[in-house]
Amino acid sequence: MTARFTLSDQTAEHDHNQCIRNAIATAEDLCISRGVQLTPIRHKILELIWNSHKAVKAYDLLDLIRPSNDAAKPATVYRALDFLLEQGLIHRVESLNAFVGCRSSGTRHDQLLLICTVCHNVEERSAPQVFLALAEEMQSALFSPQRKTIEIHGLCKSCRAE
């Protein structure tokens, strides 16, 4: 499972296996408490997305899953992704048409995504002050937003250092 995990995801202060364990355990608990099924394919897709903090495209997931499940079709992957999105376990990175695992999947939330253009790592930040200011702006525009995701492209901490 960790074979495809690249070293660049692991910094001295970051144990990514811990990220994976937390994400999977949270997902399992949430699905049980909501009475929904984390089927083997949904579980597998979630694990593959959590291989790193990089945004992953649906067709990459399909390539990754085929060795262990040759019956997997694009529709299978998309259905699993829809489920994970619905349950708030992953986020869609609109600007890349890709997906990342959510670090705080227990609650519905707005998200600020910092997307590195070099390593494709995505950092999710809750940025409460940003969203507060945004809510005021929406209110003064008499606009009711359905979704609020802010995506910012740039260089992450480790790529800046290189």
Instruction: Say which residue the tokens 């290189």 belong to.
Output: 162
Give 19 or 30: the residue with its C-beta nearer to Zn ion.
19
Compute CA distances 156 → 33, 61, 146, whole Å. 36, 24, 29
Residue in 1, 25, 36, 118 binding Zn ion, rule: CB under 5 A:
118
Residues 19-48, one symbol each (x = binds Zn ion by CB under 5 A, - = not), give: x-----------------------------
Sheet containing 149-154: order of strands: 122-125, 111-116, 149-154
**Residue 55 lies near Zn ion (rule: CB under 5 A):** no
Segment lying near Zn ion (by CB under 5 A), choices 37-45, 59-67, 142-150, 154-162 = 154-162
**Residue 116 lies near Zn ion (rule: CB under 5 A):** yes
Burial (CB count <10 Å: 0-12, 13-18, 19+), residue 19: middle
Q: How far is the CB of 101 from Zn ion (least distance, A)?
A: 8
Give 38 or 111: the residue with its C-beta nearer to Zn ion.
111
**Residue 80 lies near Zn ion (rule: CB under 5 A):** no
Burial (CB count <10 Å: 0-12, 13-18, 19+), residue 82: exposed
Residue in 23, 113, 119, 122 binding Zn ion, rule: CB under 5 A:
119
**Residue 54 lies near Zn ion (rule: CB under 5 A):** no
Q: What is the C-alpha to C-alpha distance for residues 162 and 158, in angstroms, rounded to an integer?
A: 7
Could you tell me what percentage of the chain is helix, strand and coil, using 3-state DSSP and rounding each to the nearest 5? 45, 15, 40
> Which chain residues interact with Zn ion by CB under 5 A?
16, 19, 102, 111, 116, 118-119, 121, 156, 159
